[in-house]
Chain A
Amino acid sequence: MIMEKGFVENGFIIDLSTAQNTTQLVFELSSIMEHPDVKGKQICLKLGNLDLKQSQLLSIKALIESMNASIAFIDTESEQTEASAVSLGIIVSKVSENENAQIIQPQKFSDADEEKVIVKEEETKTVEVSADMDMPSGPVETAEGVEDIYDEMSTEELSEVIPSESFDRTDFGAFAANEGLLPNEETSKYILLDTGNVLPEGIEENSDSTGSMPTLYLNQTLRSGQTVSYEGNVLIVGDAHPGSEIVAGGDITVWGILGGIAHAGSNGNVSAKVRALKLNAIQLRIAGLYARRNDTLNVPYVQKSNEFTPEEALIENGKIVIYKKLRRD
């Protein structure tokens, strides 16, 4: 099966050497693996110079084997990955130049709205295969780092309820998280703070409907140092500047840019949500979960802009999840 120069028969070479991090790598690999042609084949992984720990490589192996395929060998420039492979009994070799096998290369990383995989056959003709996947709009980012899979097409269908349950990738995210691949601090927008129990004494978690709560309506800009605190929902028509703080027993809705701290469900209501036309909050807090904005997130110093991407944050499975459009419940 494997020849001296890494020649693969009845197999594929999957080139993942352009992946920036393990999350991207696993994400792309999983989308390629869903391609029916890959099933039951020998796979050569081109991993470039990405450093993979033994546990990470093991979960990649498990992923491939779960699709009835197997790893023929890996091609890597990283010493760490090589050591991991050796300890797992995975063969390390080099892909030779004049290769007879098909090379599958993800077209683009991080741009998941273009779900296309190029299948390169015999290095001569390139066929573009649209990854025929049902892509529902699931959570785009969580406090623990599920990637952006924002589907541009779906923004026009605002009336449709997003079927988050049918989202396959979250299952994969959970799988990856268990295997130590996530959380990935580079890609997630918010990162949970390890605060312990922050709910005041005597307050218990609940999921009362926020719809029946009274709402405070404010038509103003909230400036640094200003606090709005209310037992029901808070609706602000205007921006909430960095340094401001909104604390609400129910939902927080900012019809503008949210840049300060927002604490929804402050009485322990885990069904409370934070939504804004632009969600740049320095900290997002829902009930007893506190998350900080990622340091790597390059929020422009001047946040004023005309580009709005309405987002909504809520708790799902004990995590803060952010949706890139508003759901209609």
Chain B
Amino acid sequence: MTGRVIVITSGKGGVGKTTTSANIGTALAKAGYKVVLIDTDLGLRNLDLLLGLENRIVYTIVDVIEERCKLKQALVKDKKNPNLSLLAAAQTRDKTAVNAEQLKEICNTLKEKNDFVLVDCPAGIEQGFQNAVAGASEAIVVTTPEMSAIRDADRIIGLLATKEEITSTKLLLNRVRPNLIKSNEMMSVDDVVGILEIPLVGIIPEDTGIITSTNKGEPIVNDEDALAGKAYRNVAQRILGEEVPFLDLDEPKGIVAKIKNAFAKLKAKV
């Protein structure tokens, strides 16, 4: 078996790389695939917190590289889903503790026994980024509909294009707020895709549930009702090659909102 190694990157910090990694990983594992998540953000690790696995980490990626343990020992199994495991970053070291060759080797070893290896990339374009993309053959670029995030995403897409190993780069638009798009205060999905010119793999609506899910260490894909969770499940399906329509975020939810909307349309006609 040769699994797919996908790097999740963005350039800019705080746009949701780690949240995306945790949720796509959980969704793929729930669909029955064997998934390993690698946190490459050495010194600023967060992925373990989002999965609620911090208390189980004994060995990290640096221990594997410095041969203090075997790779298998460092893989922490998820609490709920045995298909999902995490290779944590070292919290007490920095990015120079690992080099691109070593990470590539780890990815190559892991993809032999797993369907998916998802690499959570640190922010920036320095060593950490170079390490994270080294073993990957696909990339998902996460961005938000803001000028600064898009500028950084554009830079990352350019850098990814120079990497021969990366055969596919896709866009994930995070924290979309349909009501702001409607009132012309936020760039629309089409605007962003127009600027970045790469295929879209997902649109994730802004969801306050993300905050509680992060604090609880429980990915939002496990919440059947959350819109963001549903959007992430759709991303996982698209990664698996299925054609899933993008969520219609414009549709008002409640009946009151629907009636209001109908009136608004009537008014517009008159």
Contacts and interface: CB of A to CB of B under 8 A. Distances in A.
Interface in B88-132: 91-92
Given A198-B58, A282-B54, A283-B55, A295 B79 contact: yes
Contact of B55 (A224, A292, A301): A292
B16 to A, nearest CB: 20
A242 B57 CA distance: 13
Nearest to B44: A225
Interface string A212-250: 000000000000111100000000000000110100000
The prevalent SS among residues of A at the interface is: loop
A198 B54 CA distance: 18
Given A245-B91, A245-B92, A301-B215, A295 B58 contact: no
- B interface, how many residues as a size bin? 10 to 19
B55 A227 contact: no
B260 interface: no
A225 B215 contact: no
B42 to A, nearest CB: 10
Given A295-B79, A301-B215, A225 B54 contact: no
A301 B215 CA distance: 7
Nearest to B90: A225
B43 interface: yes
Contacts of A198: 58
A245 B58 CA distance: 12
Nearest to B217: A295
Contacts of A224: 91
Contacts of B92: 225-227, 245
Interface in A274-310: 282-283, 290, 292-293, 295, 301
Contact of A193 (B44, B56, B79, B215): B56
Contacts of B43: 225
Given A225-B43, A295-B79, A290 B91 contact: no
A282 B58 contact: no
A195 interface: yes
Given A242-B54, A282-B54, 19 more contacts: A193-B56, A193-B58, A195-B58, A198-B58, A224-B91, A225-B43, A225-B44, A225-B91, A225-B92, A226-B92, A245-B92, A283-B55, A283-B57, A283-B58, A290-B58, A292-B55, A292-B56, A293-B55, A295-B79
